[in-house]
């Protein structure tokens, strides 16, 4: 069972997300929060696998809550930003604070469900708009090849190694080889960190 906390200041939005997630047999909403500080408190109380975090909420925003969750518990829980804000500034702030994914609230239901599952499995999730907003940054001494950059984009899109390899028309073994090189270059050991570091350094 994947246990989730939802943080959003609009009760109707929370109710809608609960209805979507709890139709699935493997997803359970264990708590709801109306502010960033409340999300941190609920996460400490319930130890969820994932938190769906809005960014701007009265009483404490999501970015600060993400920082506090990361400072207190490392990589757990996984944090998925679910918001209406798609500016470059908002996306960078959330990812730099430690968010593992970024989706907009107009995401289709099926994609949201898949994103929560991907998140719990350690796979990062970024919307196409979030990916577009994060491109075109400055140079970095570490450079990814075109194929390695493709691999990082596939990581951000979610899904398994096999699915990503299929989209790139390579074998799963070849995909894993590229993935290992990405990890070595970026100095990371998991998919979420690879995506976050690559965008932080402007490598895509």
Answer whether 2-127 and 146-200 agree in fold: no
What's the pLDDT tens digit per position in 19-42? 999 999 999 999 999 999 999 999
H or E element that contains 16: helix 11-21
pLDDT at 152 over 70: yes
Q: Which of 48-57, 81-90, 170-179 has the lowest mean pLDDT?
A: 81-90
User: Which pLDDT band, with edges at 50, 70 and 90, does 134 fall under?
Assistant: low
pLDDT at 13 over 80: yes
Domain map (residue ranges) of the chain: 2-127, 146-200
User: Which pLDDT band, with edges at 50, 70 and 90, does 87 fall under?
Assistant: confident
The 10 Å CB-count burial string (b at 16+, else e) for 168-193 is: bebeeeebeebbeebbebbebeebbb
Q: Over range 7-28, report the average pLDDT.
A: 95
> Which of the residue ranges 63-67, 84-88, 129-133, 183-187 has the most confident prediction, judged by mean pLDDT?
63-67
What local confidence, expressed as pLDDT, does residue 169 receive? 92
User: Which pLDDT band, with edges at 50, 70 and 90, does 68 fall under?
Assistant: very high
pLDDT at 141 over 80: no
**The model scores a pTM over 0.75:** no
pLDDT at 142 over 70: no
The larger pLDDT score, comparing residue 158 to residue 74, is at 158
pLDDT at 170 over 70: yes
| Torsion sign across C-alpha atoms 89, 94, 97, 100 | negative
Q: What is the CATH architecture assignment of 146-200?
A: Orthogonal Bundle (1.10)
The larger pLDDT score, comparing residue 75 to residue 5, is at 5
Domain 2-127 has CATH 1.20.1250.20: no
3-state secondary structure of 150: helix
Parallel, antiparallel, or unpaired for β 78-83 and 27-33?
unpaired
What's the pLDDT tens digit per position in 122-131? 887 887 767 6
């Amino acid at each position: 069972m994947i246990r989730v906390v939802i943080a959003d200041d609009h009760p109707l939005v929370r109710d809608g997300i609960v209805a979507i997630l709890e139709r699935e047999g493997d997803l359970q909403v264990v708590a709801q929060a109306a502010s960033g500080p409340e999300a941190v408190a609920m996460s400490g109380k319930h130890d969820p696998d994932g938190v769906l975090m809005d960014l701007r909420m009265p009483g404490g925003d999501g970015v600060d809550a993400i920082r506090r969750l990361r400072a207190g518990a490392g990589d757990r829980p996984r944090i998925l930003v679910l918001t209406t804000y798609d500016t470059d500034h908002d996306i960078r702030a959330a990812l730099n604070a430690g968010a593992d994914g970024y989706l907009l609230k107009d995401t289709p239901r099926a994609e949201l469900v898949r994103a929560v599952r991907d998140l719990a499995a350690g796979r990062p999730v970024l919307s196409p708009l979030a990916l577009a907003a994060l491109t075109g940054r400055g140079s970095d001494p570490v450079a990814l090849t075109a194929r390695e950059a493709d691999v990082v984009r596939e990581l951000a899109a979610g899904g398994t190694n096999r699915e990503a390899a299929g989209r790139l028309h390579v074998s799963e073994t070849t995909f894993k080889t590229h993935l290992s090189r990405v990890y070595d270059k970026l100095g990371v050991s998991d998919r979420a960190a690879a995506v976050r570091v690559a965008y932080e350094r402007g490598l895509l």
